[in-house]
Amino acid sequence: MSERRRTGMKSNYLCSGLVYCSCGAKMHGSSPKRKGHEYTYFSCAKRCGMSLVRMEDVDTAAKEYLNALLSPSNQKIITAKLRTYQSDDTNRTEAFTAALNKNVRDKQKQYDNLMQNLSSGSMPPEIMEDVGNRMKEIKEEIETLKAVAPPEDFTVEYIKSWLESLKSAPDDKAIHLLIESERIDLKDKTDFNITSTLKSVLGENGANHYKGQGKIPYSCGFQP
């Protein structure tokens, strides 16, 4: 949630790696320039004959899909699932602390070994300088690890705020978190068939169908 405070930031390829042609091949983004204007498209990697698809339409379909996916009813289901996960994971904080302490011990061991080598005095001056710099880095890494806070509890309000932030400002991280694939069929219109990573969580309760309006007419099939 802290990382998402810089809203409105979008990569040029919002759905990169998620878009597939009807032939099964991946579709790759490109940004050709013509007469001083830049145009962004997706094209089939196998060059099966599918026309270029505007990246703007692909992004719009993905955003509208997330808006429907994170409906109030679906948010309740997701929240309940996360709360159940938390209640089942009774040793979550203990496991986090144990892993953190192990990392600190490993870093300290690295530091002690370098200190032993440095104390021998048998290394060339330039090597000793490199070792000293590395020891300084390890010390900083240890202090950073010690300052890491344990994971926060998944309160209802915390989860709701997180889901609403994904819904209101979907960036490439939100797209890749919640969308498994976006398959494109191009006939008399452009069809976007999108599959969610939450299909096992939402099941039939997340089923929804809607049509989006763009410069190229398309329908978006919702497959949770």
Q: What is the mean pLDDT of each run of 10 residues along the chain (224 residues)?
A: 45 78 88 79 87 88 89 89 71 77 91 86 80 88 84 76 88 87 74 83 53 36 38
Helix axes of 72-88 and 156-168: crossing angle, nearest 10 degrees: 130
Spatial contact of 188 and 111, defined as CB atoms under 8 Å apart: no
Alpha helices in the chain (DSSP H): 55-69, 72-88, 92-120, 125-146, 156-168, 172-178, 199-202
Output the pTM of the full model.
Answer: 0.59
- The neighbouring-strand residues paired with 196 are 179
Amino acid at 183: R
pLDDT for the residue numbered 105: 92
Radius of gyration of the chain (CA): 24
What residue ranges do the domains of the chain occupy?
A: 3-75+170-223
The burial of 198, by beta-carbon neighbours within 10 Å (0-12 exposed, 13-18 middle, 19 or more buried), is given as buried
Spatial contact of 70 and 198, defined as CB atoms under 8 Å apart: no
In order, the DSSP letters of 13-50 are: -TTTTTEEETTS-BEEEE--EETTEE--EEEETT--SP
pLDDT for the residue numbered 51: 83
Q: Which token pair is 70? A: 């994170």
**Of 74, 56, 71, 72, whose CA–CA distance to 14 is shortest?**
56
